[in-house]
Structure 1
Amino acid sequence: MNDERYLQIVLERIRVSAEYRPKFGRGRADKGLSLDEFQALYGSDPFYSWFGLDNPLMYAAHKAAGGMTSVYRQIGIGCEELVRTILQDCLGLSAEDANWSYEVPTSDGKTRKLHLDGRVILDKIGNEASRGRFHQWMKDSASLVNVDSDVSATLKGTVFEIRQGYKSKDSKRQNADIINAANAYAQAYLPCALILSTQIDSDILLRYRARKWSILTGVIGASDPLSS
């Protein structure tokens, strides 16, 4: 059954977090330190051991903090894969159809490829009724964020940014998303941010909609397909 397959896509990613061990500055390639290795490292440091930082509780705190970050990250990655899979299954899209990227020039004269997390091209939806429903959703979503009807009439599909939540006020991330939206419209796609939880900062929500992002959030029981 698809439900079991969908569940395993997310669980497979979350299981990665169960193996998390803090690295304590040992680099990305290192698999992290065990409790014994941590105590040997900090216990041999005269300064840290003087403060008692080789205590097992300190290791537990590091593991909990890093593990929490890992859980959020893996949930996000799992949800990206899940949504792409659902798009393919429900709309009859290929893996290539469900992915989108674009290239930007760099200061050294080369190009850099940037990706969003999902894509639906109207002409690739084989079922006529499904294509009609999705197209109507696109037109209504574009209207909600005040995209001119002449512009929305040219849109050939939607590209998705998929996140488990969005609480960060990081201006670099926000500016990158605004650039993503501009490039999406330049290639005739409606940009849609799919926030699977209800955790999105209200200021960010307003700013993104002002920049013509369609935004869906994970509100259970809502009957408005333009917002959840």
Structure 2
Amino acid sequence: MRDDKELVESFLGPIRECAEYRPAFGHSDSAGVDLQGFLDLYGGDLFYAWIGLDTPLVYAAHKAAGGLTSVYRQIGVGTERLLRDIMKDALGLSSEQTSWKYEYSKGGGKKGVHVLDAKIAFDDLAESRRTVFREWLSSTGPIVGLSNKKRERIEGVVFEIRQGYKSADSKRQNADVRFGMSAYQEGLLPTLLILSRQVSETVVERYRRDNMAVLTGTLADDARTSTFAFFKHVVGYDLVAFFERNSVAIKCEVRKIVQGLLGADQ
């Protein structure tokens, strides 16, 4: 099992990239525009200069807004890496064993590939842990409306991992439902693992109606609905204890990055 230092690095590595964030202002092929570049750009735009937008305050606002969006996105990447690393180590699985993807039609004769965040096939598990997963599946079935006949065909779980899910974006929902249908075709239970409690209840209810398991960051001791309880009782790793042990170090780095995004000093 990787030690805490390695797991913290799995989580923080992607987030550190946000420290270098600069708003692009339409220059998508660049590394972003610094403060002087912004002042030249907006100062040279007669309309924006006339109405007073050529100021460091506007640059700072753009940097903070875009930077925070980037932070949330990279927290999602860090969350995905962390949980996948823990599952691999705790369950003795390889990268190949935890990989899963499917092909779908994009229309116009084109095909797309959706790569999921992690997969656990029951046959890849040690017997004792396999029993735990099958018991979890049996108890989760009624929550997601899974019939006994359909449950008997399930031979594993495939995960989409998120840090939170506040958006009710229809495009993302449709992609998730498509993933769920594809997972069932392969005999896998589609499961969303979410670390935060910041989720859209409307989306959660829809996914469960579509026979998808959804676990969130609640501390309720219920492995059917709580990501933390699932890791403790099913995966066999205390995720709450990990974050409690490392909260000070993680918090220090994240806040330093956020603080840097609030200024116009680039």
Q: TM-score range by the shorter chain?
A: over 0.9
Query: Distance in 2 between the 1:174 and 1:37 partners?
Result: 39
Q: Which residue of 1 aligns with 2:203?
A: 204
1:110 offset after TM fit, Å?
4.3
Alignment partner of 1:144: what SS? coil
Query: Distance in 2 between the 1:110 and 1:175 partners?
Result: 18
Contact in 2 for aligned 1:164/1:196 (Cα 8 Å): yes
1:33-52 superposed matches below 5 A:
33-52=33-52
Tell me if 1:66 matches 2:66: yes
1:1-228 superposed matches below 5 A:
2-27=3-28, 29-125=29-125, 127-220=126-219, 222-228=220-226
Query: Distance in 1 between the 2:23 and 2:49 partners?
Result: 18
Query: Distance in 2 between the 1:108 and 1:51 partners?
Result: 46
- Percent identity of equivalent pairs: 46
Structure 2 residues not aligned, in runs of 5+: 227-266
Moved more, 62-71 or 175-184: 175-184
Query: Distance in 2 between the 1:42 and 1:106 partners?
Result: 40
Alignment partner of 1:143: what SS? coil
TM-score, length basis structure 2: 0.82
Alignment partner of 1:58: what SS? helix
Structure 1 residues not aligned, in runs of 5+: none
Alignment partner of 2:207: what SS? helix
Letter in 2 for 1:24: F
Moved more, 135-144 or 47-56: 135-144
Residues 38-83 of structure 1, C-alpha deviations (whole Å, 9 max, x = no match): 1011111111111111100000000000001000000001111111
Alignment partner of 2:142: what SS? helix
Alignment partner of 2:107: what SS? coil
Residues 97-124 of structure 1, C-alpha deviations (whole Å, 9 max, x = no match): 1121011234343432112211101111
Letter in 2 for 1:128: E
Query: Distance in 1 between the 2:145 and 2:107 partners?
Result: 34
Letter in 2 for 1:62: H
TM-score, length basis structure 1: 0.95
Aligned pairs, number:
225
RMSD: 1.2
